[in-house]
């Protein structure tokens, strides 16, 4: 009798073990593993890099749940060790699927991110989500309000083709450049040379930096600034050796309290710009209108060339 009881206990244990192992097997098979492509911004390469990742999804997961799983995986960052990728700071309040469009709503914290980070984060989301066969485009909101572009207009829905990979770099390649500026001195009424070392974006024309540094004013004591600090540069372009500068400052109207001669103001800019080898002449505009009425004999129709006579000659 005892033997039968023992055999029955053993049988029950075996059945329990089989039942439990069967339950475990069923639990593991209740979901599906699916491979996704996730895109991360790499600062070192200045581009998006892709990482394939297997994600566990519930059985018969809806399209929206698949989308949310991808966003969650992306927000955790790369699994491979890559020092060039940026930290992920999506600050997403919620995301929903509207037909073939993913609608992303950021929290208020999104607006505290610097613009380059905002751009690269949106690019990561667009590239990753449009890898899903049911998403063609992405729209973005912050605190339930549409995101605005730099012109103050509502940002359109974004497709993958709208993401310019070569425009993603928030830290473009830079180099050290020595520029030569000229500022007036009231004592001798001449232009004094000041050399300045600056960091420049290799893709930005050097004349843009020259004007920006002139607006900042001189670093050498005794020299005077030639433009107000609030001067706005509307446009600068150089073609065929002629640099055309459009300023918000009217060079033709004498400014109250400005003791600097008109020619010193004009040629401080002209001589500074013509230090750049590709520039031989300079034209000034005020809010898009060419300025020609200068009281200077050395200019022809508002076109200025370099004037060495106003520069202090040093041994």
* Secondary structure (3-state) at 259: coil
Distance (Å, whole) CA 267 – CA 304: 8
Give the single-character DSSP code of 109.
Answer: G
Give, for all 315 residues of the chain, the pLDDT tens digit.
Answer: 444 444 444 444 444 443 444 433 333 345 688 899 999 887 766 778 888 899 989 888 899 999 999 999 998 888 765 545 656 777 899 999 999 999 999 998 888 888 888 888 899 999 999 999 999 999 999 999 998 876 677 888 999 888 876 545 545 567 888 999 999 998 999 999 999 998 887 777 899 889 989 999 999 999 999 988 878 888 889 999 999 998 876 564 454 346 788 889 999 999 999 999 999 999 988 877 776 556 555 556 678 999 999 999 887
pTM across the whole model: 0.47
Cα dihedral sign, 215-216-219-220: positive
pLDDT of residue 27: 31
For position 7, what pLDDT does the model report? Answer: 40
d(CA 90, CA 121): 7
Helix/strand/coil (H, E, C) string of 114-175?
CHHHHHHHHHHHHHHHCCCCCCCEEEEEECCEECECCCCCECCCEEHHHCCHHHCCCCCCEE
pLDDT at 300: 63
- What pLDDT shows up at residue 14? 41
pLDDT of residue 102: 95
Give the Cα separation of 137 and 160 in Å (integer): 7
* Encoded tokens for 99: 């037909």
pLDDT of residue 70: 93
């Amino acid at each position: 009798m005892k033997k039968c009881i023992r055999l029955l206990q053993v049988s029950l244990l075996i059945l329990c073990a089989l039942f439990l192992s069967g339950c475990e097997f069923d639990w593991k098979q209740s979901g599906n593993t699916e491979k996704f492509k996730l895109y991360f911004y790499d600062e070192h390469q200045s581009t998006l890099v892709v990482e394939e990742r297997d994600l566990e999804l519930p059985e018969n997961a809806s399209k929206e749940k698949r989308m949310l799983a991808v966003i969650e995986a992306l927000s955790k960052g790369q699994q491979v060790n890559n020092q060039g990728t940026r930290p992920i700071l999506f600050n997403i309040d919620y995301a929903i699927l509207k037909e073939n469009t993913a609608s992303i709503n950021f929290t208020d914290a999104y607006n505290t991110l610097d613009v380059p980070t905002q751009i690269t984060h949106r690019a990561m989301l667009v590239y990753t989500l449009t890898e899903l066969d049911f998403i063609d485009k992405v729209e973005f909101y912050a605190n339930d309000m549409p995101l605005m572009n730099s012109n103050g207009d509502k940002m359109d829905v974004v497709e993958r083709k709208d993401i310019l990979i070569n425009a993603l770099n928030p830290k473009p390649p830079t180099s050290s450049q020595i520029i030569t500026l000229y500022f007036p001195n009231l004592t001798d009424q001449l232009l004094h040379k000041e050399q300045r070392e600056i960091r420049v974006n290799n893709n930005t024309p050097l004349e843009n930096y020259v004007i920006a540094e002139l607006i900042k004013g001189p670093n050498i004591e005794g020299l005077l600034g030639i433009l107000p600090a609030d001067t706005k540069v509307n446009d600068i372009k150089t073609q065929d050796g002629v640099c055309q500068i459009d300023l918000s400052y009217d060079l033709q109207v004498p400014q109250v309290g400005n003791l600097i001669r008109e020619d010193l103001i004009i040629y401080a800019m002209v001589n500074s710009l013509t230090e750049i080898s590709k520039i031989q002449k300079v034209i000034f505009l005020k809010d898009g209108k060419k300025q020609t009425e200068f009281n200077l004999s050395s200019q022809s129709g508002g076109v200025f060339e370099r004037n060495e006579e106003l520069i202090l000659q040093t041994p």
